[in-house]
Structure formats: C-alpha cells, structure tokens
Amino acid sequence: MTVAAFTAVVTLGTLTLMLPDASAGGEETGVVTALFTAVSAVCVTGLIVVDTAAHWSTAGQWVILGLIQIGGVGVMTLASVLIIAVRHRIRLKLQLSVGVESKAVTLSEVRRVIFGIIWFSLLFETVTAAALTARFLVGYGYAPGRALYHGVFHAVSAFNNAGFALYSDSLMGFATDPWIILPIALAVIAGGLGFPVWIEIRRRREPGPRRRWSLHARITLSVTAVLLVVGTVLVTALEWTNPRTLGPMDTGDRLLSGFFHSAMPRTAGFNSLDVGGFQTQTLFVTDMLMFVGGGSAGTAGGIKVTTFALLAFVIYANVRGEPTVHVGDRRLSAGVEQQALVVALLAVGLVFVSTLVLMTITPFTLDQILFEVISAFATVGLSTGITADIPVAGQLILCLLMFIGRIGPITLATALALRRRARRIEYPEERPTVG
C-alpha cells in the first residue's frame, strides 16, 4: 500500500508536469524530466535536472509545491502510524477487526495522529513563511504578492526538507543574510526531528508532573545536536580559506554559512555556497552527514540518527565484552539491534552498487558520483552540479534511489519489527571466526 500510494502520486505529478501550462515556455516537458522532478518533489529530495525558476511556470511551481507537501506530510503520517503499529505489535487488519480488546491502534488514535501532523506542519510552515515574507518585503523590496509567494514556497520546501528553491543558484544570493538563512535552517531542523519528538517536547510544557523523556527522543535530540556542532566545525574549518566558498567572507558570515551547510544534510538540499567548489574533504564530511540524515517519522532522510546511534552503542558494548547493549538506564532488545544493522547494511550496499554503476556509465569522478548517489538515497538534494549531465539511465537510477530512500527504511524497519517467525528446528550452534 505504501509503495502503491507513492507511485500513484508520482505518476499524477509526472503527467501534470508534462502539460504545456506547467513549463515557462508553454511547451510539453519530456517524460524523464517530468518524472525526475516529480520523484524528487514527492520524495522531498530537491535534485533537479532543469532550473526550477527558469523552466517551470508559476503553475508548474505550484504543482511541485503540492507534491512536496503531500510527500512530506505523507511520510510523517505514514511513519508515525507505523511506529504506533510497531509499538502495539499488531497488524492493521487485526487492529481494525479486534480494536480495543487487544489494545490495538484505534481509528480515533490514527485520526489524532494525522490531524496532529497536519497542524504541526502548518504551524511551522506558517511561522517560517511569515518571517521570510517580511524579509523579502522589507529587505529586498519585493511586491507583496511576490514576497508572500517566495516566503510560502521556501517555507514549505524547508520544513519538508525538500530543498527546491525559486532561484537558479538556490540560496547563494542570501548566503550572508541571517534573516533568510536562519529561518530556513531552523525549519529544516524542526522538520527533521520528527513528529514524535515534538509531541514529547509539547507534553513537557504542559502543567503537572513532567514526563520522562523516551529513549527515542533522547537519542534524536542529542545526536542531532552533536552532528550539527561537529558538522559546523568541520565544514567551517575545511572551507575557511577556500576562495570558492568561505574564503572571501568575514568571520561572522563564515560561521553562518558553516552552520547552514551543516544543517542542510539533515536532509534539505538548499545551498548558500557553491557545492561544486567544496574541498574533497568537505564533500566526504557532507557524505557522512547525508547518509546519517535526521530523525525518524520526520521529513528528513538517511538511515536516521537513531539507527546510527544504536549501531554505535552496539559497537561500544561489543568492544567492552558486554553481553547486552544498554543506553542510559535502558536495555536494547536483540530485535532492535538487528533492525538497525539490516537497515544500515542494506543502505551501504545500495549506495555501493549504484555508485559502481554510475561510475561505469558516466565520466565523473568518484567523489562527485558518491556525493550524488548518497544525496539521492538520503533524499537530500545537494549536488556538485552534475545531475543534469548524467545520462538518462543514470537519472532513472537516481529516481529509484530517491524512491527507495524515501519509503524503504520506513517500510523495511516496520516489516522487520512486525514480522516474527519461530523456527521449528534449531541446529547446533557454531562460532565462526570474526575479524
């Protein structure tokens, strides 16, 4: 059902973007270009093969914005409902048939989640749009209608971690403007944390005894903060003297741009600096940040910060020779460890194979192709500028990566959590040499 729903939206978006009215020149857009744009929008990635500002008409841009909203809210809704299903350890069919008697998820609970996500999304998007509209209106002299349109478009694109922009150079023209850069960065971070974390934050502000932070919220908030700080330090340090990026800026603007490019791999895809001008080391750091991504049940992609953190705890426990894995005052189940391992290894395998194929059919270097592949799989949208020059076969591979990256980890992790089979026969145990 998940794959079918996303496929239907992508198909509808592709057909709509192929219409002459969707292009600025009034001509029909090719099927591959329309498909790539639709997949990138629905999967809230931001990779493009044509200039969003120049190629698409206002109607086409509205279609893209609608696809972004559907994709972002749809992913949060899907992931949040699946998290509920995992917690109750019961399939949807059983939930609807037996209801409260087995403590299953009720329709009213699902309805509250859906409406909560919609309200949550609109709140952040409205606040961000208001800040951006005011800045476009006062700081850049935009007409009210244009200021509102640009404010709304970039607010929706930022909160949903889509990375689509109405400027040919993304946000490079606003690199030193904190009134544009910071609202967009904060919206990206907010969307990337995930709906369950924001629910806990809201509940802690309610009167009465404070509830205990869940392990999921603690991991998401702490790892997100660490990655933001580490990313800011590394990007700023590596690009400090680069004449193509931070070199010409003063200290304050360098720190602002460094922070922005640490937040974008969460996975938004906006850029205020020329990514193609980054040092190879900076591209590699960005690869790692993109691969990890953001929080579960949010608009970010990647393997998710919880998966990354759980694997780190598993490694730490095994190095210390401990029989079980503990995080704080909680013990991880073996099932959770297996889920994290499977999701991470499948992601690595998919990135490796896709990189190898693209290296075979394109003339680009390894660092460029690896960056593009991880950006597509992690639904980031950052690029060194080679997307439009990749042959059609390569663009279709990127489409598949975006699609799998958007729904794959969610559906895979849920399937692993819900699917438990007891073996009827167990064979004698043996321990092969490891390492």
Identify whether 434 is part of a domain: no
Calpha distance 306→339 (Å, rounded) = 11
* 424 inside domain: no
349: containing domain: 2-206+213-418
Angle, CA of 125, 130 and 132, to the nearest 5°: 95
In a domain, residue 433? The reply is: no
pLDDT in tens, the chain (435 residues): 777 888 889 999 999 999 999 999 999 999 999 999 999 999 999 999 999 999 999 999 999 999 999 888 876 676 666 666 665 554 444 444 444 433 444 556 667 777 778 888 899 999 999 999 999 999 999 999 999 999 999 999 999 999 999 999 999 999 999 999 999 999 999 988 888 888 888 877 776 666 778 888 899 999 999 999 999 999 999 999 999 999 999 999 999 999 999 999 977 889 999 999 999 999 999 999 999 998 877 778 889 999 999 999 999 998 888 888 988 888 888 878 888 888 899 899 999 999 999 999 999 999 999 999 999 999 999 999 999 999 999 999 999 999 988 877 666 666 666 666 667 788 888 878 776
pTM for the whole structure: 0.88
Report yes or no on 423 lying in a domain. Answer: no
Q: Is residue 427 part of a domain?
A: no
Residue 431 lies in a domain: no
What is the SS3 assignment for 397-410?
HHHHHHHHHHHHHH
Q: What is the 3-state secondary structure (H, E, C) of the chain?
A: CHHHHHHHHHHHHHHHHCCHHHECCCCCCCHHHHHHHHHHHHCCCCCCCCCHHHHECHHHHHHHHHHHHHHHHHHHHHHHHHHHHHHHCCCHHHHHHHHHHHCCCCHHHHHHHHHHHHHHHHHHHHHHHHHHHHHHHHHCCCCHHHHHHHHHHHHHHHHCCCCCCCCCCCCHHHCCCHHHHHHHHHHHHHHHHCHHHHHHHHHHCCCCCCCCCCHHHHHHHHHHHHHHHHHHHHHHHHHCCCCCCCCCCCHHHHHHHHHHHHHHHHCCCCCCCCHHHCCHHHHHHHHHHHHHCCCCCCCCCCCCHHHHHHHHHHHHHHHCCCCCCEECCEECCHHHHHHHHHHHHHHHHHHHHHHHHHHHHCCCCHHHHHHHHHHHHCCCCCCCCCHHHCCHHHHHHHHHHHHHHHHHHHHHHHHHHHCCCCCCCCCCCCCCCCC
In a domain, 40, yes or no: yes
425 in any annotated domain: no
Query: Number of structural domains, the chain?
Result: 1
